[in-house]
Structure 1
């Protein structure tokens, strides 16, 4: 209803001649005549409807973009310096790319190799990973495992597990994770114990709170500098955004 009302208002603005009286100031007779004229105008110029819809979409997109900039500014410390999220790429890079992801998300898997290529080919991007399991218990299990690996074994082991989980297309179960951990020579007794710890729970909970504050409802979601980028982005588009940020 809100979109319909806004579109109708835009159509009237496009159809109403400059200097015409406000609808509220018209008599019932004048208002009826005006409505008949608008109806006739739209039948003669149906493209006006699409023009109004396009204008409305542009305005809504601009408003959302500005709102997202404000959200990033208000939550900058939690986004860029939370003290626990994995930091990769070039930690001293001039551009920071933050990625909220879920290991069972198809678009996250699709973006994985492209983000890796961006980091390798550019060499000057700081990359922060935010574990945001939103696709069920298997997603939560995978994230608890990854976070536990990071806390117990460090960033290098975390990155190896992260890459493996992003490439894995089967069911994520504890036996699967045990086999994966053994492949990398990890101390699975310590990691399994840590998976159930308050430390892991707190890290994932804080990322969920941040995602809620940023109004993130899906993965992948990226933050690049001051811009919130919702959804999958192909490599070429990411490179253009990086170039734009560098000015």
Structure 2
């Protein structure tokens, strides 16, 4: 379960492994064109959680083997509880390793077969794992949550899954996202880790 070598190497160039994690101050925000936000929200692979029609939309581009994404996921339930009017959008952005690519294929297969309503438990479970999350471990966890392994394996290796991953990578590249996690909050991008408090401050700014 891998992408082509050229796509994978391009993704690795955006790994952002040197990005600071949860500095005392939040990453500097960058204004982004509305059409690029719309491109993200039109990706077929996104998962929308939280308020269906929130007053602020927050998007997270993440990788299942990013340690700072793990911390972000651990704080996600608290963020959704504290911000009931927030619409939160997850974007699988596998850029760190071949293992990340394989894990994302498994996760997207689960999404395609079982829908976004069942995705959040898998998302949190994968980030709760210790060590590297690869395709086999992701499939096993998805199976534990009720997924059919054979159908998920077939879907993970499908052209549609490959297309979804390429589209997400291309959109993230257009946005200039050079680290995971990266966030779009309102019309601003924040590249790098953010604490729960920093996220809430950025959401408040987006509300004006």
- Same fold per superposition (TM over 0.5): yes
Count how many residue pairs are aligned between Structure 1 and Structure 2.
Answer: 181
Partner of 2:75: 114
2:25 corresponds to: none
Structure 1 equivalent of residue 87 of structure 2 = 126
Stretch deviating more after TM superposition (149-158 or 211-220): 149-158
The higher relative CO (CA closer than 8 Å, separation ≥ 6) is in 2
Aligned equivalent of 1:96: 57
Structure 1 residues 173, 210: closer, same or farther in 2, change over 3 A? closer
2:151 pairs with 1:195: no
Once the two structures are TM-superposed, the CA of residue 72 in structure 1 deviates from its matched residue by: 3.4
Does the 8 Å CA contact 2:50/2:87 hold for their aligned counterparts?
Answer: yes
Q: What corresponds to 2:114 in structure 1?
A: 153
Q: Tell me, what secondary structure is at the counterpart of 1:75?
A: helix
Match of 1:183 in 2: 144
Alpha-carbon deviation of 1:164? 0.8
More helix by share: 1
Equivalent residue number for residue 222 of structure 1: 183
- Deviation at residue 74 of structure 1 after TM alignment: 3.8
Q: 5 Å matches for 1:158-173? A: 158-173=119-134
Residues 56 and 203 in structure 2, CA contact (< 8 A), matched pair in contact too: yes
C-alpha displacement of 1:238: 1.2
Alignment of 1:30-49 (within 5 A): none
Tell me the C-alpha RMSD between the 2 structures.
1.6
Out of 168, 171, 196, the residue aligned to residue 235 of structure 1 is: 196
Larger radius of gyration: 1
Pair 1:133–1:153, CA change in 2 (3 A) = same
Cα deviations across residues 145-192 of structure 1 (Å, max 9, x unaligned)? Answer: 111100011113322211111111133344423431231121111111
1:208 maps to which of 148, 152, 169: 169
Residue by residue, what CA displacement relative to the aligned partner does 1:30-56 show, whole Å, maximum 9, x if unpaired? Answer: xxxxxxxxxxxxxxxxxxxxxxxxxxx
Output the TM-score relative to the length of structure 1. Answer: 0.69
TM-score normalised over the length of structure 2: 0.81
Does the CA-based 8 Å contact 1:97-1:126 persist in structure 2? yes
Listed as ranges, the gaps of 5+ residues in structure 1 are: 1-63
User: Aligned pair 1:143/2:104, yes or no?
Assistant: yes
Moved over 6 A (4+): none
Query: Are 2:36 and 1:75 aligned?
Result: yes
